[in-house]
Structure 1
Amino acid sequence: MTVATHRAEPVRRRRARALSSALAPAVFLAPAVVLLLVYLLYPLVDSFRLSLLAWNGLGETARYVGLENWVRLAHDQVFWLSAGNNILLALFSVLIQLPIAIVLAVVLDEASHGSRLLKILYFLPLLMSSVAVGVLFKNVYDPNFGPVNSILEAFGLYDWTQDWLGDPHLALASVIAVVCWQNIPFYMVLFLAGLASFPRELNEAARLDGASEITIFWRLKLPHLKGTFRTAVLLAVIGSLRYFDLIYIMTGGGPDNASELMATYMYRTVFSSFQLGYGSTIASAMFIVVTLIAAVSFRISRRFETEI
């Protein structure tokens, strides 16, 4: 063995070790990457491809129509109504769910007696399936036998009784109330996790200095939760823009498309009207809308975070 070959041996070993150390993570990540490509990236790209076709999804007579579906979408009033309803749902999800969740998280974080039982009780709505919640509140809102109108009648408020899910002016608001009721526990737990890292010594020191609970919340706890708050805003916005199940169970998008969302409209277009090409156009537009609004929400939440 020559001197050059002898010196090259350690170099080869180092290269082999570096290659094996680089391959090991790739081998473990490969199944997850394959699943993401097959079940996420491919359907996303294929939906844009299908949006260029006129096809019922059953036969092989798909016809290329170019941007005809997109032109139709631009003039589709039902789609823009559903997009507006999605934005309203996202807005009220942030304005209603997050403040209530923060207050509950702070109260439960400070509670010493019975806090575990209260956490379980507050978390119960999230454990129920959306189908069960939808069927439950469909009966709660029933204009003839539902407890909402029965309670109003018991207090003599007969003029306040309504057809909550049958009135186009009330259907969306009624469903948004149920959506908030079901999802507040999730954000409550998220904020509780954020408060778990809040230093208790700082809390006690502020109390010794005479700070009130409201001052401690605004000056100490809320700034501590700014990162958690940004995450909660993004989750609430993205989740609201993709919402489907509860609306579909309670109203089906009605009455007269008053509670229609982009997801329910896409579902009805594909599986009721058998317009797979146009339904794929709606799905692709959903992706674009969700991405843009999520990016804007991220920018706004970051600016809000710097101002706290």
Structure 2
Amino acid sequence: MFLAPTLLLLAVFLLYPLVSSLRLSLVDWNGLGNTARFIGLANWGRLAHDAVFWQSLRNNAILALASIVIQLPIALVLAVLLEKAGRGSRVLKVLYFLPLLMSSVAIGVLFKQIYDPNFGPLNVALQAFGLDGLAKDWLGDPHFSLGATIAVIIWQNAPFYMILFLAGLSSMPAEVNEAALLDGASEWTIFWRIKLPHLQGTLRTAVLLSVLGSLRYFDLVFVMTGGGPEGSSELMATYMYRTVFSSFQLGYGSTIGSAMFLIVITVAAVSMYFTRRFATEV
């Protein structure tokens, strides 16, 4: 009885939309009127041969990899440095956390101006230092648009994982660190042999959150590039949005959304399995 309200909310806002999306993936419908036509698995067959979808999935995978390889190490380094900063770390924590508090739309608009090929501060600074060859149309060049947007995503979201790692570090008993110092262990040894194993649970959570977040990412990329140019920064979520609200292909857009759900569930299950399997006792 106590669980009933929560289960009802989950059924209405999670289960029903999921079932509805799967149902719509079996029809051809523009979202207007009673024109839906049942076509079975035709949308799924189209998805399997859709080059744009596979490109967007590849871009999501690149974003997930960058989140693990670049974003999490940066956040961990910041957390370790802030832990050693003492009282002065309070101001630094607030400053480092500010990007996460900003609206993704505002950040997207801001960095569109920063990346502007003609008047953007980034190219102006490069030219001022005599590095004209490095000045580029960062968001308009298919070779750099995805990397430029990923850099902004990392800048915005790294503070979240920094706070997560700080919480993990603060949960370690101070006596353990003091005992290691008394035994002659260096700071580097303490980090690798004590702190990092202590953070393995936090690291598993961070990896899972970063991967799942990368597979569902939408807002900042949509504001900065809209998935372009030439689909070079297209993500599954931006492709789904354009398919439904620009092309009015609600059935096929629901197929993309359902495929996203299946991919996210599969990746989450695999990630949880492997992180638990290789967990060690501390």
Say whether the fold is shared (TM-score over 0.5): yes
Percent sequence identity is: 71
Q: Deviations over 1:33-57 (max 9, x none)?
A: 1111111111001111000000001
The SS at the match of 2:220 is helix
- In structure 2, distance between residues paired with 1:213 and 1:132: 40
**97, 107, 110: which one aligns with 1:123:** 97
Q: Which residue of 2 aligns with 1:91?
A: 65
Q: CA deviation at 1:302?
A: 2.6
Q: Do the aligned partners of 1:106 and 1:192 also contact (CA within 8 Å) in 2?
A: yes
Please name the residue that 1:174 is paired with.
148
The aligned counterpart of 1:253 is: 227
Which of 37, 43, 51 is the equivalent residue of 2:25? 51
Which residue pairs with 2:36 in the alignment?
Answer: 62
**Residue 292 of structure 1: how far off its partner (Å):** 1.3
Correspondent of 1:226 among 158, 177, 200: 200
- Which stretch has the larger CA shift, 243-252 or 288-297? 288-297
Match of 2:50 among 76, 81, 85: 76
3-state SS, counterpart of residue 256 of structure 1: coil
- Tell me which of 240, 258, 261 is aligned to 1:287: 261
How far the C-alpha of 1:299 sits from its partner, in A, is: 2.6
Report deviation, 1:112: 1.1
1:195 corresponds to = 169
Equivalent AA in structure 2 for residue 125 of structure 1: P
Under a length normalisation based on structure 2, what TM-score does the superposition of the two structures give? 0.97
Partner of 1:212: 186
Tell me the residue number matched to 2:135.
161
Residue 60 of structure 1 and its aligned partner are, at CA, apart by: 0.6
Residue deviations 1:262-281 (CA, integer Å, cap 9, x gap)? 00000000000000000000
Q: CA deviation at 1:227?
A: 0.4
Task: Return the alpha-carbon distance in structure 2 between the equivalents of residues 267 and 104 of structure 1.
Answer: 35
CA–CA distance in structure 2, aligned partners of residues 54 and 280 of structure 1: 10
- Cα shift at 1:304: 4.1
Q: Counterpart of 2:218 in structure 1: which amino acid?
A: F
| Counterpart amino acid of residue 209 in structure 1 | D
After TM superposition, give the deviation of residue 30 of structure 1 in Å: 2.2
Between the two proteins, the alignment pairs up a number of residues equal to 282
Q: Once the two structures are superposed, what CA deviation does each residue of 1:76-111 show, in whole Å capped at 9, x if it has no partner?
A: 000000001001101111111111111111111122
Q: 1:56 to 1:98 in 2, by over 3 A?
A: same
Between 216-225 and 111-120, report the one with greater CA deviation: 111-120
Structure 2 Cα separation of the partners of residues 160 and 204 of structure 1: 48
Counterpart secondary structure, 1:162:
coil
Aligned partners of 1:204 and 1:301: how far apart in 2?
Answer: 29
Counterparts in 2 of 1:111-150, with a 5 A limit? 111-150=85-124
Q: Quick check: 147-156 or 104-113, which moved more?
A: 104-113
Q: Distance in 2 between matches of 1:43 and 1:168?
A: 35
Which structure has the greater CA radius of gyration? 1
| Cα distance in structure 2, aligned partners of 1:305 and 1:155 | 48
- Provide TM-score, normalisation by structure 1: 0.89
Q: CA RMSD in A?
A: 1.2
Q: What residue identity is the alignment partner of 2:79?
A: A
Structure 2 unaligned residues grouped into runs of 5+ = none
Partner of 1:275: 249
Structure 1, unpaired ranges of 5+ = 1-25
Cα distance in 1 for partners of 2:11, 2:106 equals: 33
CA contact (8 A) 1:233 1:301 kept: no
- Map of 1:11 onto structure 2: none
1:242 aligned to 216, 240, 245, which one? 216
Q: Return the match for 1:109 from 77, 83, 98.
A: 83
TM-superposed CA distance for 1:307, in Å, is 8.8
Q: Distance in 1 between matches of 2:204 and 2:223?
A: 30
Whole-angstrom CA distance in 2 between matches of 1:136 and 1:303: 43
